[in-house]
Structure 1
Amino acid sequence: MQASLKVFDPVKRHSTEAAIALLLGMLYAPLIWYWIDGWLSKSISIEHEYFSYALIGFPYAAWIAWLSRQHRHNLPSSGSFLGISLLALAVTFYLSPVQNLINLSFPLMLGAVVLILKGLSGLRLMRWPLLFVLLATPTELPYLIAPYLMPIQRMNAAIAAFLLTQIGMDVSVDQIYILVNERIVEVAPYCAGLKMLMTCLYVALMMLHWTGNLRSRPKTLALLAGAALISVVGNIVRNTLLTFFHGTGRTDWFEWLHESWGGDVFSALLLLSVVLLMNGIDRMANSLTLSPAGGAGKDNFF
């Protein structure tokens, strides 16, 4: 009899959490499935496709939330007026006919639940999972940024044209338009590398959190700056290849890199570069710390 009661102890202990998780699943499973299906099949809007890094961001957020479950359980229960207010806002957004407000209701709802159950101490504990969910929630942010990308579009077009002239191609540039062999290639706002920049910075933030390097400002700044540079250089290379394929009539190759799985492979290589950069920064920091010229303590560099 005692053994059977022990089996039900965890269920009884976490019954509230389980009921809330079930309710949230019923509310948001269709929405999240819509996102996932849209990202995988590329049937979602262009702006929301920018947030496809949520395919790794959401599982990572869930994983670090799971790791802190015991600490979260030990926190005292503490209702919060702020949590109730945030819950009302999340419900209002969820019932709104505006797609972006419905999307934003998801991280707001999660934050409200944490505040209501565990108060501000719970919010501090869950700040990183909630931040990763918020940053990966589809919004119209890319659409708002697009009008300011003209300088980057011009730079991409100019550098791509310069590189192609180095291999003997007849190339001319007019603002964001590249003319190659009487074929015009436009470096559109959504070809300026914003998606890859957002993805690289998000993955860099994940790497910094995973390795515990967020405590080091130099490492954080170095990785974020390096990730931004990787995305910019990578996008210039991609635009150059696309211009070359289109200008030389290699339509199949153009479509493969532009809309097919070739673009996914290229993106994966850039993300791998971010991971390798994190490893390189760690190695450099360790070598400088251990070197005789580095002094006795870590504070000399990182």
Structure 2
Amino acid sequence: MLNQRQFQHTISPQLLSLGILGILGLLYAPLLLHWLDGWLNKNISTEHEYFSHGIIGLPFAAYISWKNRKLWQRLPNRIHPLGAVFLLVGGIFYLSGISEWVNLSFPTILTGLCLWFKGILGLKLQRFPLLLVFLATPTLVPYLIAPYTFPLQSFIAGTAGFILNQFGMAVTVDEINIYVGGRIVEVAPYCAGLKMLFTTLYVGLMLLYWTGALSSRHKTISFLSIAVLISVSGNIIRNTLLTYFHGTGQEAAFHWLHDSWGGDMFSAVMLVLLIPILNKINSYFSEPAVIEQERANGQ
């Protein structure tokens, strides 16, 4: 009888966890598959396509949570009142049927579950996976930011025009419009590099966590600042190439870089560049610490 009770006591939390995962799967599997299909086939809205970094971010968040499962089990079961609030708000969002709210219900429900079962300690343990999920959740943030990107659009247009002028091309720039070869190229709000900037910062956070550099404020600020510069510079180069292709009548090359896999390849190369940069930053900030340690040992 005692063994039976011990077995029931042991299996109950496991069954509860499986039950919760099953319910979450039934509720959100269609939504996540919709996101994935839209990101891969680019048949989702322009604003929601900005969050395609979730293709790698959401599996990575799941991996981190799985890796922390033993630490999660060791935490005391402690209900925090905010858990009920998040679960209620998440449920209202989901039942509203409004696309943006349904999307936001996913990280809201996950946050509520952490607080409901493990309290603040559980939320702290899962804070980075939750951050990755939240930052990969499609919202209208790009649409809200777009009206304020005019200075960036003008800067990109002016710089692209300046570069092409140095190569002997007759280019005229009027605010966000570039005139070359009797054709016009507009640096539209969605061509200002916001998508690449979002992806660069997101992947940068993942790399910082993976290497353990996220715990260092100096490393984090330095790396993300350089990542922003790389993203902006890369977008200037891309817009310069697009203007050149369009102005010289190379429409196939223009569409390859603008609409096809050429743009994806260009973005991938930029993201790969982040790895050696982070390694350099880690080495730069680690060397003084090593020198100090060697001096201390020598003394």
* Aligned-partner Cα distance in 2 for 1:17–1:277: 40
Matched position secondary structure for 2:96: coil
* Aligned-partner Cα distance in 1 for 2:62–2:40: 20
Give yes or no for the alignment of 1:274 onto 2:263: no
Q: Which amino acid aligns with 1:60?
A: F
The equivalent of 1:162 in structure 2 is 162
Percent identity over the alignment is: 51
* Aligned-partner Cα distance in 2 for 1:247–1:288: 51
| Residues 227-247 of structure 1: per-residue CA shift (max 9 Å, x gap) | 100100000000000000000
* Aligned-partner Cα distance in 2 for 1:168–1:10: 76
| Residues 53-96 of structure 1: per-residue CA shift (max 9 Å, x gap) | 01111011111111110010111112222111111100000011
Matched position secondary structure for 1:168: coil
The equivalent of 1:283 in structure 2 is 283
Which has the higher mean CA deviation after the structures are superposed, 38-47 or 274-283?
274-283
Could you tell me how far 1:209 is from its partner in structure 2? Answer: 1.2
Which has the higher mean CA deviation after the structures are superposed, 113-122 or 39-48?
113-122
Q: How does 1:1-302 map to 2 (within 5 A)?
A: 13-291=13-291, 296=295
CA RMSD, Structure 1 to Structure 2 (Å): 1.9
Could you tell me how far 1:7 is from its partner in structure 2? Answer: 11
When residues 53 and 10 of structure 1 are mapped into structure 2, their CA distance, relative to the original with a 3 A threshold, is farther
TM-score (norm 1): 0.92
* Aligned-partner Cα distance in 1 for 2:183–2:134: 42
When residues 13 and 243 of structure 1 are mapped into structure 2, their CA distance, relative to the original with a 3 A threshold, is same
Q: Which amino acid aligns with 2:183?
A: R
Matched positions, count: 291
* Aligned-partner Cα distance in 2 for 1:290–1:247: 54
Q: Which amino acid aligns with 1:58?
A: L
Matched position secondary structure for 1:60: helix
Could you tell me how far 1:10 is from its partner in structure 2? Answer: 7.8
Which has the higher mean CA deviation after the structures are superposed, 212-221 or 238-247?
212-221
Could you tell me how far 1:290 is from its partner in structure 2? Answer: 3.6
Could you tell me how far 1:291 is from its partner in structure 2? Answer: 4.7
* Aligned-partner Cα distance in 2 for 1:22–1:59: 17
* Aligned-partner Cα distance in 1 for 2:210–2:56: 13
* Aligned-partner Cα distance in 2 for 1:152–1:119: 43
TM-score (norm 2): 0.93
* Aligned-partner Cα distance in 1 for 2:288–2:182: 54
